[in-house]
Amino acid sequence: LKSIRPRKGAITDIWVEEATETDSKSIKELYKRQRGGAADVPKRLTMSFNPILQNHWIFHEHFKMVSWADDQTEYTGAELTILKTWYIHNRFLTSGDIDDLENEQDEYFKEVYTYGNWGVLGNVIFKNWRVEDLTQMRDQFTNYRHGGDFGFSSDPAAIVVTHYDKSHKTIYIYKELYERGLTNDLLADETKEMIGTDHIVWDSAEPKSIAELMKYGVTARGAGKGKDSVLHGIQWLQQQKIVIDKSCINARNEFMQYQWKEDKDGNAIRQPVDKNNHIIDALRYAYERDAIATWYYA
C-alpha cells in the first residue's frame, strides 16, 4: 500500500480489524502514510483484536509499557487509549453463544474469549491465577501462610504474604518482597515489618540464615524437602485458585513466565526451568504442610 488519496480532505483515521494478524512494521507503515487533516483533527490508528498471547508485539509495545493488568478495562494517555470489552458487551451473541463462553473449560480460551484478557500458552506452568485489587478484602484475611526464599546479589530475596481460603481452595497473595542485596539483619527487619511475629517458612537449604533470622526475632522454620517435593508442590498449587493483588508485580511476572523445560524436540517435560521462581518457591514453602496433608490423605 503506497498511498490512498481521497477525493476530498485527508485521511485522518485508519481502523485495523484482527490487528493481531499483522506485524508491527506494517502498522507503523500505515501510520506514516496517513496524511492527517486540519490541526484540530489528529491522525488516529485504531486496532481491534482478540488478545491472543502475551508474547505478541501489540502487548509488548502498548500494554506492557503502561503496566496493563487483567482487571483494567480502560487506559487513557497522551498518545494511547485502550478499551477492553468482552462477551457481555457483544449484543450479537445468541443465548447459546453466551452459554458456551460462560461454561468454557479450557483456561486459555476462557481468559481470552470470555474475559478479554491476554492469553498465555506454551510451556507456562500456571494458568490458574488472576490479578485483582484486594484492598477491600484484606481485613477479612485471617488464615495466613507466609514463605520466603533467600537471595543476595544475583538472585533476589523473596517473601510472599498470603491468606488461604481452604473451603474454596483459593490463595490470596496480597504482599510481596523482592529485593537484592539484603543481609540477614535487614531481611529480618523487612520480614517483621510485613508479618510481625507471624510464622514464616523459608528455604531449608540455608539453616544458618534461618537461625540468624530467628536470632533477630523472626518466627521462622525451614521447609521440608524430599524426593520430588518441587513437583509435588507445583502440582498442589495448580489445583488451587490463585489471586494476586495488583500491587504484587513480581508475583504476577513470575506466574506469567515460570515454564517447563523442553526436550530436544521442543516438547515440554515435567521439570521446571530454574528461573522466574523466587516468589513461587516462597509460595511452595508457605503451603508445604497443606500440600503434604493432601498427599498423605490421598
3 state DSSP class of 222: strand
The answer on pLDDT for 295 being more than 60 is: no
The mean predicted confidence, pLDDT, of the chain is 89
- When pLDDT is cut at 50, 70 and 90, the band that residue 298 belongs to is very low
How far apart CA 10 and CA 33 sit, in angstroms, is 11
User: 16 has which bridge partners?
Assistant: 47
> Lowest mean pLDDT: which of 24-38, 105-119, 261-275, 277-291?
24-38
Predicted pLDDT at 121? 62
Give residue-wise pLDDT tens across range 52-81: 878 788 998 999 999 999 999 999 999 999
Predicted pLDDT at 1? 56
The full set of domain ranges for the chain reads: 129-297
Phi/psi-derived region of residue 3, left when phi > 0, alpha when psi is between -120 and 50, beta in every other case: beta
The answer on pLDDT for 45 being more than 70 is: yes
For the chain, the C-alpha Rg in angstroms (whole number) is 23
Query: Please, which residues have CB within 8 angstroms of residue 110's CB and are 6 or more apart in sequence?
Result: 101, 104
Predicted pLDDT at 297? 44
User: 149 has which bridge partners?
Assistant: 158
- When pLDDT is cut at 50, 70 and 90, the band that residue 294 belongs to is low
How far apart CA 189 and CA 144 sit, in angstroms, is 19
Give residue-wise pLDDT tens across range 108-156: 788 889 999 998 766 889 989 988 899 999 999 999 999 999 998 889 9
What does pTM read for this prediction? 0.62
The answer on pLDDT for 250 being more than 60 is: yes
Considering only CA atoms, which of 43, 46, 82, 42 is closest in space to residue 62? Answer: 82
Residue 244 identity: I
- Give the right CATH number for 129-297 from 3.30.420.280, 3.30.70.2860, 3.40.50.620, 3.40.50.970: 3.30.420.280
- Per-residue pLDDT, averaged over 235-254, amounts to 93
